C-alpha cells in the first residue's frame, strides 16, 4: 500500500516524501516538473536509500491518473500539485483556476472510481484573507483576496461539499503558514524559478551573491520593528505534519482544517538578523514601499493540530536559517548546480 503524492518533486512534496518513507510508508509521485526538477527525486532517493516510483505526468491527465491507480495500491493521497505565486495569479488567473481546480476535480473523480477516500490537501493560511484577529484559529471566517488564495478557498469548499455528500471520506485541509528551511542534509531545498517572491529564498540568494540586496517591503507596520511579522515554519516540521495527517486520515472520517504553524511571529528584520547569525554573511537591505495586500502580522494558533493530530513544530528560527543556508551554500544555483 502506498501514498500517492501529487507535486512530490516540489519543495514541500520532496521533504514530505522523505518523512513518509522514514515513517514506513511507500510513496508514488506524480509531478509534471512545471516548477521542479527530477533531480529532487533522485536526491530524495539518495537520502532515504530507497527508490521512489515517479510518474512525470500532469494531474489534469485523467488517463495518467487512472494508470497510476491501476499500477499501484494507493491507500491515501497528498495533493500538493498546483501553482502558488500570488502575484502571477493576478496576471494569469485562468491558468491558476485551470491548474489548481481541474487537477483537484480530476483527482477526486479518479479516487472515487478506485474507492480511495483518504485525502490530505495543501491549503494555505491565505484562506483567512486579511483577518485582523491573531492568532488565527480554524473556525475563523474565510475570505481569500487574490486568485491563488481563491483557488485554495474554492478547493476547500469543494472538499467540504464532497464530504457532506459522501461521509465515508477522510479529508485533512492543511493550512500552512510560511514554510522555510531545508532538509538537514543540505541536498534538497527550495529552488524557485526566476527572482524569488518570498522572503527567505530572497535572503538566501542575496547571501550567495545572486541578488544584490534585500528589499524590505515597508517599515511602518504596527509591529515590533515596523516590518511585517509572519509565522515561519521549518519545512521538515511541515512534512512531519503531513505524516500525522495521513495517519489520522487512515483511521478517521471527516473533513477537517488544521493550521500548521509554530504559533510564533517573526519580523522581516528579525529573520534577516537570524540568517546573518546562522550564515556569518551580511545581508544588505533597503527599505522600499509596502507590497500591496500584505498584512502587518499573521500567525497561527496550532493547538488543533497538536490536540487531534498529535503534531507540533519543533524546530526554531535558528535551525530554519542554518538549514536554508546549508542548502543554498551547497547549491548556489539550486538543482541546476549539478
What amino acid positions are annotated as catalytic residues?
A: 148
Residue among 310, 263, 306, 258 nearest 127 (CA): 258
**Rounded least distance, CB 164 to ligand UD1, Å:** 26
The residue (of 45 and 294) whose beta carbon lies closer to ligand UD1 is 294
**Rounded least distance, CB 129 to ligand UD1, Å:** 10
Which entry of ligand NAD, ligand UD1, none binds 294, CB below 5 to 8 A by partner kind? ligand UD1
**Rounded least distance, CB 280 to ligand NAD, Å:** 26
Binding site for ligand UD1 (CB under 6 A): 86, 124-126, 149, 178, 197-199, 202, 215-217, 228, 230, 268, 291, 293-294, 298
The residue (of 55 and 253) whose beta carbon lies closer to ligand NAD is 55
The sheet that has 118-124: what strands, in order across it? 53-55, 26-30, 2-6, 74-79, 118-124, 170-176, 254-260
Binding site for ligand NAD (CB under 6 A): 7, 9-13, 30-36, 58-60, 80-82, 84, 99, 103, 122, 124, 176, 179
Which entry of ligand NAD, ligand UD1, none binds 122, CB below 5 to 8 A by partner kind? ligand NAD
Comparing every residue's Cβ against ligand UD1, the nearest one is: 228
Gap between the Cα atoms of 103 and 81, Å rounded: 8
The residue (of 3 and 136) whose beta carbon lies closer to ligand UD1 is 136
The residue (of 72 and 198) whose beta carbon lies closer to ligand UD1 is 198
Which entry of ligand NAD, ligand UD1, none binds 230, CB below 5 to 8 A by partner kind? ligand UD1
Instruction: Check: CB of residue 180 under 8 Å from CB of residue 232.
Output: yes
Which entry of ligand NAD, ligand UD1, none binds 262, CB below 5 to 8 A by partner kind? none
Q: Residue 64 has which C-alpha cell?
A: 495518467
**Rounded least distance, CB 33 to ligand NAD, Å:** 5
Using N-to-C axis directions, what is the helix angle for 235-251 and 11-22, rounded to 10°?
60
Comparing every residue's Cβ against ligand NAD, the nearest one is: 10
The residue (of 83 and 125) whose beta carbon lies closer to ligand UD1 is 125
**Rounded least distance, CB 84 to ligand UD1, Å:** 7
The residue (of 136 and 268) whose beta carbon lies closer to ligand UD1 is 268
Which entry of ligand UD1, ligand NAD, none binds 236, CB below 5 to 8 A by partner kind? none
The residue (of 186 and 220) whose beta carbon lies closer to ligand NAD is 186
Which entry of ligand NAD, ligand UD1, none binds 36, CB below 5 to 8 A by partner kind? ligand NAD
Gap between the Cα atoms of 203 and 321, Å rounded: 10
Residues 6+ apart with CB under 8 A from 19: 236, 239, 240, 242, 243
Gap between the Cα atoms of 153 and 177, Å rounded: 15
**Rounded least distance, CB 26 to ligand UD1, Å:** 29
**Rounded least distance, CB 80 to ligand NAD, Å:** 4
Amino acid at each position: 500500500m502506498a501514498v500517492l503524492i501529487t507535486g512530490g518533486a516540489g519543495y514541500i512534496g520532496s521533504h514530505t516524501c522523505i518523512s513518509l518513507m522514514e515513517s514506513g510508508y511507500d510513496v508514488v509521485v506524480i509531478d509534471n516538473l512545471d516548477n521542479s526538477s527530477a533531480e529532487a527525486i533522485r536526491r530524495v532517493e539518495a537520502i532515504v536509500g530507497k527508490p521512489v516510483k515517479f510518474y512525470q505526468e500532469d494531474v489534469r491527465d485523467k488517463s495518467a491518473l487512472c494508470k497510476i491507480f491501476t499500477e499501484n495500491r494507493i491507500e491515501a493521497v497528498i495533493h500538493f500539485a498546483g501553482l502558488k505565486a500570488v502575484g502571477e495569479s493576478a496576471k494569469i488567473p485562468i491558468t491558476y483556476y485551470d491548474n489548481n481546480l481541474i487537477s483537484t476535480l480530476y483527482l477526486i473523480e479518479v479516487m472515487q472510481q478506485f474507492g480511495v477516500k483518504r485525502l490530505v490537501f495543501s491549503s494555505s493560511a491565505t484562506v483567512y484573507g486579511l483577518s485582523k484577529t491573531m492568532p488565527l484559529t480554524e473556525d475563523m471566517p474565510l475570505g481569500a483576496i487574490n486568485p491563488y488564495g481563491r483557488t485554495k478557498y474554492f478547493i476547500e469548499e469543494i472538499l467540504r461539499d464532497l464530504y457532506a455528500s459522501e461521509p465515508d471520506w477522510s479529508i485533512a485541509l492543511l493550512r500552512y503558514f510560511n514554510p522555510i528551511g531545508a532538509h538537514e542534509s543540505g541536498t534538497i531545498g527550495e529552488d524557485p524559478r526566476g527572482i524569488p517572491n518570498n522572503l527567505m529564498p530572497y535572503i538566501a540568494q542575496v547571501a550567495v551573491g545572486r541578488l544584490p540586496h534585500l528589499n524590505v517591503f515597508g517599515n511602518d507596520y504596527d509591529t515590533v520593528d515596523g516590518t511585517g511579522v509572519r509565522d515561519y515554519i521549518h519545512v521538515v516540521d511541515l512534512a512531519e505534519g503531513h505524516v500525522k495527517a495521513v495517519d489520522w486520515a487512515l483511521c478517521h472520517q471527516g473533513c477537517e482544517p488544521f493550521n500548521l504553524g509554530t504559533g510564533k511571529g517573526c519580523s522581516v528584520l528579525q529573520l534577516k538578523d537570524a540568517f546573518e547569525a546562522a550564515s556569518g554573511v551580511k545581508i544588505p537591505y533597503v527599505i522600499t514601499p509596502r507590497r500591496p495586500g500584505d498584512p502587518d502580522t499573521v500567525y497561527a494558533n496550532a493547538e488543533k493540530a497538536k490536540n487531534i493530530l498529535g503534531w507540533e513544530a519543533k524546530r526554531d528560527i535558528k535551525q530554519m536559517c542554518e538549514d536554508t543556508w546549508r542548502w543554498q551554500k551547497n547549491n548556489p544555483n539550486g538543482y541546476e548546480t549539478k
